[in-house]
């Protein structure tokens, strides 16, 4: 019997086209770096297709979609994604927030502080073109600011904001649902979430998993700042106590800066900072359901340590719990600020070291301006402003896995060390557990711009070449699946599994997954890192490659497997 043997003799590596810089002092411009006026307020989300959508404000609201390699998909400096039809809207559009429309595009909400002082929103397709743009609240009295947004589970969004229609010293909380087609689902002036006396501020929102949302805010109705929450259903009907349920209400205990994430269906987790322990700020949390607060009255401690823990941010851990990160001065003083993090379970227990794991504790350094995003595997990527380099403010980041282990360089990977200052980071997870960061950048000095940076799953700058773990069961066999789809254009997914011969999940081995053309030339390295036993998937983006047959080879621990794939254009 004749045998056909393909011998890969000529290994000639080709570089895959990418736009991300691998130098933290350079980075990649997202906004126009030549125009007058300052860009600010960036927000980033995953586009659901391995890339990210970034929005920001520079008088108008602009957006950019970028893939994992750093290619700008909406033109060099993005597209206008706000309301451009009414001349009243030509300036003062601020505070953009963004959520996926579940179809590869996004819904963006923002405040306009010009004559109408309104909340507006728009929906854009994956190519950046608008589906609709519109006003969210038609009340002409007072000022509306500080919008927050979540998806409604049906391609639309629920938006909440601070509202001064009832008096300049009586800020209230209102909300509106906009359907996927752009029509308003609730009263045109919005639904009152809380109209109690004094000020209700800083609203935050999370889906309840049933077409409605939970909203939390800081509340001054009894002079001290407390934390309240309300649930609103898909019809715009509030479900809890009128003007909100008490989450943390304690005499002589100021509480503030609430954050909220969805937990199980119909529930949410809220965290905040308060001063009940001797007047210094600590981090606390509570879970709310349709009937009550689930955990200890006034919350469970996330971190109670000397000095202050504050400016926290929180994301879902994907398992009904949450990951919280914060600024921390326990070690020295307010002159040196560290970053700590904690994962809490759905029952309120701490899953990592009590009072948090150190994320950045570099001596002589101060950190601020936290932002984090889920890593897709029950962990998180955390970004912060960093003062370790003299006379500048830089950006650093860290990945923390589900067990609380630090995955990147100790005390963080340098994301941007450009001249002057870089502030207000935002981050989204993209293909293969890489990340895209965006921030306000002052390297131009006269004006601020938006810059970005991609990293892979190992924290290496320059784009995502890592791999996504897709299962927690330890496999017994070394295997390489057929890619899907196949034929494909321009990208395809490859799944494989690495066994644990010693049945110890912590053991790691060097794994490579490479693509070759029919002449045996290496055209792409998809994976080249140490992996523990598990099931994984990687994405092969063949944009720029010629149609034809290619091969991909998985190698680990002296074993190798090869499969064939077909690119058709």
The reported pTM is: 0.82
Predicted pLDDT of residue 191 = 98
Cβ count within 10 A of residue 353: 12
Cβ–Cβ < 8 Å for 269, 314: yes
Rounded CA-CA distance 144/172 in Å is: 10
Q: Which two tokens stand for residue 426?
A: 């935002």
Nearest CA-CA partner of 320 in 253, 254, 374, 367: 374
| Predicted confidence band of residue 471 (pLDDT cuts 50, 70, 90) | low
Domain locations in the chain? 42-462, 469-567
Q: Is the dihedral of CA 129, 132, 138, 140 positive or negative?
A: positive
Predicted pLDDT of residue 332 = 74
Predicted pLDDT of residue 465 = 54
- Could you tell me which residue, 347 or 68, shows the higher pLDDT? 347
Q: Which two tokens stand for residue 387?
A: 């003062």
Least confident of 123-137, 356-370, 503-517: 503-517
Contacts (Cβ under 8 Å, ≥6 apart) of 161:
111, 119, 137, 144, 145, 146, 147, 148, 173, 174, 175, 190, 203
Predicted pLDDT of residue 10 = 29
Please check the confidence at residue 5 and state whether its pLDDT lies above 80: no
**CATH classification number, 42-462, choose in 3.40.50.10190, 1.10.287.70, 2.130.10.120, 2.40.50.100:** 2.130.10.120
Strand partners, 43: 55
Predicted pLDDT of residue 141 = 86
| Predicted confidence band of residue 448 (pLDDT cuts 50, 70, 90) | very high
Q: Tell me: the pLDDT tens digits for 230-245? A: 999 999 999 999 999 9
Backbone angles phi, psi at 115, to 5 degrees: -55, -45
Residue indicated by tokens 């953009």: 96
Cβ–Cβ < 8 Å for 299, 284: yes
Rounded CA-CA distance 59/370 in Å is: 25
- Could you tell me which residue, 355 or 463, shows the higher pLDDT? 355
Nearest CA-CA partner of 274 in 221, 320, 341, 219: 219
| Predicted confidence band of residue 4 (pLDDT cuts 50, 70, 90) | very low
Rounded CA-CA distance 345/245 in Å is: 22
Q: Tell me: the pLDDT tens digits for 478-509? A: 999 999 999 998 889 999 998 875 444 445 67
Predicted pLDDT of residue 527 = 86
Please check the confidence at residue 513 and state whether its pLDDT lies above 90: yes
DSSP label of 188:
T
> What are the start-end ranges of the E strands in 164-298?
172-178, 191-194, 200-207, 213-222, 224-232, 245-248, 255-262, 268-274, 282-288
Mean pLDDT calculated for residue range 43-59 = 92
Predicted pLDDT of residue 504 = 43
Cβ–Cβ < 8 Å for 381, 405: no
Predicted pLDDT of residue 50 = 81
Backbone angles phi, psi at 88, to 5 degrees: -65, -25
- Could you tell me which residue, 534 or 81, shows the higher pLDDT? 81
Q: Tell me: the pLDDT tens digits for 373-382? A: 999 889 999 9
Please check the confidence at residue 6 and state whether its pLDDT lies above 70: no
Predicted pLDDT of residue 17 = 37
What is the residue-averaged pLDDT of the chain?
A: 89
One DSSP character per residue, 296-319 reads: STT-EEEE--SS-EEEEEEEE-SS
Q: Is 432 helix (H, G, I), strand (E, B) or coil?
A: helix
Q: Is 548 left (phi over 0), alpha (psi -120 to 50) or beta?
A: left
Peptide bond into 487 cis (omega under 30): yes
Mean pLDDT calculated for residue range 175-180 = 98
| Predicted confidence band of residue 155 (pLDDT cuts 50, 70, 90) | very high
- H or E stretch covering 61: strand 60-66
DSSP label of 1:
-
Predicted pLDDT of residue 229 = 99
Rounded CA-CA distance 286/272 in Å is: 9
Q: Which two tokens stand for residue 524?
A: 């792409």
Predicted pLDDT of residue 116 = 62
Rounded CA-CA distance 501/393 in Å is: 47
Backbone angles phi, psi at 111, to 5 degrees: -100, 145
Strand partners, 488: 567
> What are the start-end ranges of the E strands in 377-521?
380-386, 394-400, 413-416, 422-429, 435-441, 449-455, 468-471, 479-480, 491-498, 508-517
| Predicted confidence band of residue 18 (pLDDT cuts 50, 70, 90) | very low
| Predicted confidence band of residue 467 (pLDDT cuts 50, 70, 90) | low
- Name the pairing type of β-strands 300-303 and 309-316: unpaired
- Could you tell me which residue, 324 or 559, shows the higher pLDDT? 324
Burial of 8 (0-12, 13-18, 19+ CB in 10 A): middle
Please check the confidence at residue 463 and state whether its pLDDT lies above 50: yes
Q: Which two tokens stand for residue 114?
A: 């010009």
Q: Tell me: the pLDDT tens digits for 287-329? A: 999 999 999 999 999 999 999 999 999 999 999 999 999 999 9
Considering the domain 469-567, what is its CATH architecture? Sandwich (2.60)
Rounded CA-CA distance 466/432 in Å is: 5
Rounded CA-CA distance 418/461 in Å is: 14
Tell me the C-alpha to C-alpha distance, in Å, between residue 359 and each of 30, 240, 253, 341, 405: 28, 37, 28, 7, 10
- H or E stretch covering 540: strand 534-541
Q: Tell me: the pLDDT tens digits for 387-443? A: 999 889 999 999 999 999 999 999 999 999 999 999 999 999 987 778 999 999 999
Q: Is the dihedral of CA 297, 301, 307, 311 positive or negative?
A: negative
Rounded CA-CA distance 286/228 in Å is: 11
| Predicted confidence band of residue 334 (pLDDT cuts 50, 70, 90) | low
Of all residues in the chain, the percent with pLDDT exceeding 90 is 69
Please check the confidence at residue 462 and state whether its pLDDT lies above 90: no
Q: Which of 109-123, 318-332, 453-467 has the highest mean pLDDT?
A: 318-332
For the chain, give the number of residues: 569
Please check the confidence at residue 464 and state whether its pLDDT lies above 70: no
Nearest CA-CA partner of 376 in 432, 424, 414, 308: 432
């Amino acid at each position: 019997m004749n045998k056909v043997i393909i011998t890969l003799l000529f290994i000639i590596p080709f570089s895959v086209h990418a736009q991300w810089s691998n130098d933290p002092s350079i980075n990649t411009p997202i906004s126009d770096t030549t125009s007058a006026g300052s860009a600010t307020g960036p927000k980033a989300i995953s586009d659901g297709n391995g890339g990210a959508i970034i929005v920001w404000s520079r008088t108008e609201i602009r957006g950019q979609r970028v893939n994992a390699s750093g290619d700008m998909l909406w033109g060099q400096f993005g597209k206008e994604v706000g309301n451009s039809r009414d001349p009243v809207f030509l300036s003062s559009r601020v505070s953009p927030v963004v959520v996926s429309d579940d179809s590869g595009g996004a819904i963006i909400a923002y405040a306009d502080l010009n004559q109408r002082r309104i909340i507006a929103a728009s929906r854009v397709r994956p190519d950046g073109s608008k589906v609709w743009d519109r006003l969210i609240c038609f009340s002409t009295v007072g000022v509306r600011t500080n919008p927050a947004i979540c998806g409604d589970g049906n391609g639309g969004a629920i938006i909440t904001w601070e509202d001064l229609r009832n008096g300049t010293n009586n800020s209230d909380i209102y909300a509106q649902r906009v359907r996927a087609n752009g029509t308003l689902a609730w009263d045109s002036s919005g639904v009152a979430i809380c109209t109690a006396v004094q000020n209700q501020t800083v609203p935050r929102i999370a889906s309840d998993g049933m077409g409605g949302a939970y909203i939390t805010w800081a509340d001054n109705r009894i002079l001290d700042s407390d934390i309240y929450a309300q649930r609103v259903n898909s019809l715009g009907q509030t479900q809890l106590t009128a003007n909100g349920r008490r989450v943390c209400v304690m005499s002589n205990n100021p509480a503030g800066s609430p954050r909220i994430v969805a937990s199980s269906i119909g529930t949410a987790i809220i965290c905040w900072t308060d001063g009940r322990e001797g007047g210094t700020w600590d981090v606390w949390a509570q879970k709310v359901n349709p009937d009550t607060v689930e955990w200890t009255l006034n919350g469970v401690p996330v971190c109670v340590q000397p000095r202050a823990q504050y400016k926290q941010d929180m994301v879902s851990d994907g398992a009904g719990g949450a990951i919280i990160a914060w600024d921390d001065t326990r070690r020295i003083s307010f002159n040196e600020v560290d970053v700590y993090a904690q994962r809490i379970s759905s029952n309120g227990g701490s899953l990592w070291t009590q009072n948090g794991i150190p994320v950045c504790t570099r001596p002589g350094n101060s950190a601020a301006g936290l932002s984090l995003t889920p890593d897709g595997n029950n962990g998180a990527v955390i970004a912060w402003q960093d003062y370790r380099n003299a006379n500048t403010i830089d950006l650093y980041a860290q990945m923390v896995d589900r067990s609380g282990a630090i995955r990147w360089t100790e005390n963080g990977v340098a994301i941007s060390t450009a001249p002057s200052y870089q502030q207000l980071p935002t981050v989204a997870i993209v293909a293969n557990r890489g990340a895209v960061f965006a921030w306000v950048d002052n390297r131009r000095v006269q004006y601020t711009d938006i810059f970005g940076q991609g990293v892979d799953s190992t924290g290496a700058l320059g784009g995502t070449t890592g791999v996504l773990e897709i299962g927690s069961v330890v496999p017994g066999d070394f295997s390489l699946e057929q890619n899907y789809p196949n034929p494909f254009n321009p990208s395809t997914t490859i799944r494989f599994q690495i066994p644990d011969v010693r049945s110890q999940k912590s053991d790691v081995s060097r794994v490579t997954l490479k693509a070759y053309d029919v002449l045996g030339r290496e055209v792409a390295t998809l994976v080249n890192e140490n992996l523990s036993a598990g099931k994984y998937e990687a994405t092969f983006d063949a944009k720029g490659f010629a149609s034809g047959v290619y091969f991909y080879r998985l190698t680990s621990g002296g074993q190798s497997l090869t499969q064939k794939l077909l690119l058709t254009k």
